[in-house]
Amino acid sequence: MSGYQIGLLFHLVGVILFFAGAAVAGVVATAAPRREKPSEIAAILGLARYGAIMLGVGGLVLLVAGFYLSGKIEGYGQRWLEISIVLFVIALVVGAWGGRRSRKAREYAEQVAAGSGGDEATLRAMLANRATWAMHWASVVLALAVLVLMIWQPGA
């Protein structure tokens, strides 16, 4: 196996981990508001951590392998690659903001479930927050745009 093939393998594994983590986080974010009990909401939102770990590890692996591959194919300086990197970083930042809001909702759900403060109406409002949903969806759209650019490679 050549260095390029190994780099490509790691890049693809990173992509799979990244999108699998995003899918876990998306399923969790969609399922949590449908639960009745705050303890169930907290438990489901707790699963988002696993998605975030997969997403973070996958993102790191695909970035490192992607930079390696770019050096192998002399891809530096190509506009599609520069745009992809910028969009990927923006997707990570926006997704992290949305994830932070979801983590706060999980922590609040744990408080409500334990009876140590808070009310269910506020919890429901946190789960239905449009800004949080917009951040989640924006990060997904940006990540998909990066995937399209990586496959299409306009101008390459």
Cβ–Cβ under 8 Å, residues 112 and 123 = yes
The whole-model pTM stands at: 0.86
Q: Where residue 40 falls among pLDDT bands split at 50, 70, 90?
A: very high
Query: What is the reported pLDDT for 75?
Result: 64
- Residue 135, CB half-sphere, CA atoms under 13 Å: how many? 18
Cα distance between residue 34 and residue 153, in whole Å: 40
Query: What is the reported pLDDT for 108?
Result: 94
CA 112 to chain centre: 27
Q: Residues 4-24: what's their mean pLDDT?
A: 94
Return the domain boundaries, the chain.
Answer: 3-152
